Structure formats: structure tokens, C-alpha cells
Amino acid sequence: MGSLPTVVFPVSGVEVFPLFPPLVAFLVACATTPAGVSGAFMLLPFQVSILGFTSPAVSPTNLIYNIVAIPGGLYRYIKEGRMAWPLTWIVVVGTLPGVFAGALIRIYYLPDPRAFKLFVGLVLLYLGLRLLYELTPCHQQSKTQINAMHKRFQEQVQRVQTAQKARIAAGLPADAVVKTHVVSLRRIEYEFWGERYAFGTVAIFTLALVVGIVGGIYGIGGGAIIAPFCASVLGLPIYTVAGAALAGTLLTSIAGVIFFTGLAFTPVGTQAAIAPDWTLGILFGVGGLLGTYIGAHLQKYMPDRLIKGILGTIVTFLALQYILQYFI
């Protein structure tokens, strides 16, 4: 790292300037949090390729980043009224049993889960490409709710710019908050910015359960699956999905760290380094905490098409990583 003073982290063996990890995590979190993704999947290759952290312990270390970083974004979404609480609780309730089921599946039935990872990659690729397709003019013409929201966003930009005479002024109005109308075992309906959105309770619970299983198997957060599914397949506004997706990722990350930490005390832990590097993970998390807080705040200044474009690009990139790993 040039002439900058470096620190060696004894668990991982990483030697780096101590402000470098939180700075990278901050930038990643700022970019990904508006889309409901923590950004941990981008930090994993950074740790492996740039920092040289190549042992299995890099996975739980990455999950520690999620645990420390995500509350910053969640606090901001809660404070600004963009948490769809019924959606959030279903995601949490469905994810938790899935995580532990996934961990058991990983131990007993998928010692080499490459084929299943290929399947997950293909599903993510479909969701990512679908999100990007929805940004094309031909698809936008058929989506009246999306067009209405985009139109109101642009009108809000114009009003704020005129009122404040600022070069850059935008954002959701103060009354653009989630208002729950119907909560039942069959259906959930809520209002956001003058539009009503509804989805099946069982469908979201099933999705959360599957996401939890995948998270338990691979130690990945669920936001990269939940967010594009809710935004693309169910047509929910990304402004109301991001918080719930981050909550699911936080839960899977906590369960994943507990699982890996416990595994370190088994015979498996004596054969490979799987205990997380808490110091490095927390250092990443501190930068991510500030980044998710700012990223969640920035979301309301971003049109939904831009957020969907970011999410579609992220998910497509992640999908290609999974697919290529199957063949390499």
C-alpha cells in the first residue's frame, strides 16, 4: 500500500492500511443500499483478489460486515417512513427457518453444491435481465403505475427546483410514506405515494423461505434475490422494497455468522480456517454503516428507474459470477 502505515490482521493474515477497508465499504454501500442490497457480494471478491484473504473464513467475515453495516440503512428507511412492515415481517419470519434448513442441507446433502449454485445463478440472471428490460421504452409504455410514479417524481423535482432555485434539488415529498391497508394470511395491501400495491402473503413467505435456504447454504444475503423479485415480478415500488430486503439480509447474516462460528469448534474447523476475522469484518462494517445510512437517504433523491437500473446491473453481475463459477 505504498508508504502508508499498514496493519496485519492476525486471523486473516491481511496486511492493509486500516482506513482502506472502511472507505471501500462506504463507497460500495452508498451505491447498493438504495436498491436494497448491502453490497457484501462486491466486498467478497475485493477481499479475495485485492487483500489476499483466500481462506473459507472470508465468507463469515463478509457476513459480519452485513451485521454492522445494515442497521444504518434500516434506521434511515424507518425514520423516513419507507419500511413496508408487513412485507418486512413476512420476509423475516420466512427467512429464519430457511437459514437453518439451508445450513443442514449444506452439511449433509450438498458437499459440492455447484449445480444448485448454477440454478441460483440462472434465476438471478432472469430477474436481473427482466429488471433491465423493464427500463426499455417499449416496456415502460405498458406500465401505467410505474409511469405515474416516475411522472410524479419528475414533477416533484420541478417544484423543488423552482421553489429553492437550486441546480440540484429533488426527492420524494414528506408524505411519500408506506400506509398499510390490508394484512391477512392471504393478502397484503399498502399505499405509497397515492398508489395501492397488493401481493399474496403465501407467495412472499415462500420466497423468503427459499431465500433463507439459499443463504444458509452459501452464506449470502437475501437482498439480491428478494429485491428484484418484489420489484420486477410483483411490481412493488423499489422505494418500499429496499428496507425489507435489507432486513432479510441482516437476519441471514446473523444466522450465518453463528453457524460458521459454531462450525469452527467442530472437527471441520480443525481442517480449515473458517472462524471469521471479527476485527476486519467490523472495520468493513463501520464504513458500511455510514454508507448504508447515506445510501438509504439518497434513495429518495433517485428516480425509480435509476434504482432499478442499479439493481438490475448488480443482480445480473452476481448471476454471471455464479454461472461462471460452475464452469471454472
Instruction: Report if residue 2 sits inside a domain.
Output: no
Instruction: Report if residue 136 sits inside a domain.
Output: yes
Q: What is the number of other CB atoms lying within 10 angstroms of the CB of residue 298?
A: 16
Instruction: Report if residue 1 sits inside a domain.
Output: no
Instruction: Report if residue 192 sits inside a domain.
Output: yes
Instruction: Report if residue 168 sits inside a domain.
Output: yes
pTM of the model: 0.83
What pLDDT is attached to residue 217?
74
Measure the CA angle with vertex 129, ends 137 and 63; round to 5°: 130
- For the chain, state the CA radius of gyration: 20
What pLDDT is attached to residue 140?
60
At 279 the three-state DSSP class reads helix
Per-residue pLDDT reduced to its tens digit, 42-67: 898 889 889 998 888 888 898 899 99
Q: What total of structural domains would you count in the chain?
A: 1
Measure the CA angle with vertex 207, ends 202 and 212; round to 5°: 125
Q: Domain range holding 248?
A: 7-327
Strand partners, 196: 191
The C-alpha atoms of residue 277 and residue 289 are separated, in whole angstroms, by 18
List of residues 6+ apart from 6 with CB closer than 8 A: 15, 16, 17, 18
Give the DSSP letter string of 60-111. Answer: HHHHHHHHHHHHHHHHHHHHTT---HHHHHHHHHHHHHHHHHHHHHHHHT-S
Instruction: Report if residue 52 sits inside a domain.
Output: yes
Phi, psi of 72 (to 5 degrees): -60, -45
Are the C-beta atoms of residues 298 and 242 closer than 8 Å to each other? no
Could you tell me the CA-to-CA distances from 226 to 146, 157, 164, 181 in Å, in that order?
Answer: 19, 29, 37, 22
Give the 3-state DSSP-derived string for 106-152, with helices as H, strands as E and coil as C.
Answer: HHHCCCCCHHHHHHHHHHHHHHHHHHHHCCCHHHHCCCHHHHHHHHH
Instruction: Report if residue 301 sits inside a domain.
Output: yes
Phi, psi of 173 (to 5 degrees): -70, 165
Instruction: Report if residue 155 sits inside a domain.
Output: yes
What pLDDT is attached to residue 160?
56
Per-residue pLDDT in tens (0 to 9) along the chain, 328 residues? 457 799 999 888 999 999 999 999 999 999 999 999 998 888 988 898 899 988 888 888 988 999 999 999 999 999 999 999 999 999 989 998 888 888 777 767 766 667 777 887 888 898 889 888 888 877 665 555 556 666 666 666 566 555 544 433 456 777 788 999 999 999 999 999 888 999 999 999 999 998 888 877 766 667 778 888 888 888 899 899 999 999 989 988 888 888 888 878 888 667 777 788 999 999 999 999 999 999 999 998 888 888 989 999 998 998 898 888 888 7
Query: CA nearest 258: which of 73, 96, 20?
Result: 96
The C-alpha atoms of residue 243 and residue 301 are separated, in whole angstroms, by 16
- One-letter amino acid at 132 equals L
What pLDDT is attached to residue 148?
65
120: left (phi over 0), alpha (psi -120 to 50) or beta: alpha
